Amino acid sequence: MWRLYQFPLCPFSRKVRLLLSEKGVPYELWRENPWDAGDEFWALNPAGRTPVLHEADKNITLCDSRAICEYFEETVEKMPMINGTVASRAEIRRLVALFDENFYYDVTGPLLHERMKKRLILRQPPDSKALRQAMKMAHGHLDYMDYLIDTRPWLAGSTMSLADLTAAAQISVADYLGGIDWSGHEQTRGWYSVFKSRPSFRPLLSERMEVIQPPSHYGEIDG
């Protein structure tokens, strides 16, 4: 069976978990904190990052969430997530990069730094200016999502795709860390609550990262 090396608030691991569940691929979770990973983990992934997916019996190791998703897209037909014309596929991959890189850089990454790393590793209080800035950037990204959802049923087009899974994964971590103010973003909020009710999403919402508690609306489908 596949083993996923991850920690509960890693947005890239969440994307992979959503994809595996949607495609019906069984896997087990293996807790790994990249900030204090040992030699065994570094041997699996020389980049030292989660997620890593490993199949011991077949001796396969997959690293990098996009490489992992492309692998399952190529090997499992159920629930295609990078689908349609070449132009649609390029649009899906553009949005995956936008959420994995820009949203993460502007919002999820700073929130993880201020609220998780400072608490668990650095033992420092969060910097309220950095938190305000991340929340401000989140509004900008949600505005863009509102615009997309105004013009299309799903983020990248007419069907659910890896773009939706990627955005939902990033947003769910940002929301856990109190960084999302939903007011004024009814379109994206509606899209997200549809997502939250999917069976693939439920396990993520009930998990907790030690010490850090999410706001009360986090796990609620209409929250």
Footprint of ligand GSH (CB under 6 A): 10-12, 34, 48-51, 64-66, 97, 100-101
Q: Which is nearer to a second copy, 63 or 209 (CB)?
A: 63
**Per rule CB under 8 A, is residue 144 in the interface with a second copy?**
yes
CA distance linking residue 166 with residue 169, whole number of Å = 5
**Per rule CB under 8 A, is residue 86 in the interface with a second copy?**
yes
Q: Which is nearer to a second copy, 60 or 221 (CB)?
A: 60
**Per rule CB under 8 A, is residue 111 in the interface with a second copy?**
no
CA distance linking residue 71 with residue 59, whole number of Å = 15
Q: Which is nearer to ligand GSH, 82 or 149 (CB)?
A: 82
**Per rule CB under 8 A, is residue 169 in the interface with a second copy?**
no
Is residue 2 within 8 A of residue 27, CB to CB? The reply is: yes
Q: Which is nearer to a second copy, 12 or 192 (CB)?
A: 12
Alpha helix stretches (DSSP H) within the chain: 11-23, 39-44, 65-75, 86-97, 109-111, 128-151, 162-176, 186-196, 202-206
34 makes contact, choosing from a second copy, ligand GSH, none, with CB < 5 to 8 Å by partner type, with ligand GSH
Q: Kind of pairing, strands 2-6 and 27-31?
A: parallel
Select the residue interacting with a second copy from 1, 56, 60, 221 (CB under 8 A). 60
Would you say the C-alpha torsion 67, 29, 134, 182 has a positive or negative sign? positive
Is residue 26 within 8 A of residue 78, CB to CB? The reply is: no
Q: Which is nearer to a second copy, 23 or 196 (CB)?
A: 23
Q: Which is nearer to ligand GSH, 64 or 207 (CB)?
A: 64
CA distance linking residue 31 with residue 51, whole number of Å = 10
Q: Which amino acid is at 70?
A: E
71 makes contact, choosing from a second copy, ligand GSH, none, with CB < 5 to 8 Å by partner type, with a second copy
Is residue 65 within 8 A of residue 13, CB to CB? The reply is: yes
The 1-30 contact track toward a second copy, x by CB under 8 A, reads ------------------------------
- What lies within 8 Å, CB to CB, of 15 at 6+ separation is 65, 69, 100, 162, 165, 166, 169
90 makes contact, choosing from a second copy, ligand GSH, none, with CB < 5 to 8 Å by partner type, with a second copy
Per CB under 8 A, residues contacting a second copy are 46-47, 60, 62-64, 66-68, 70-71, 74-75, 86-87, 89-90, 93-94, 96-98, 101-102, 144
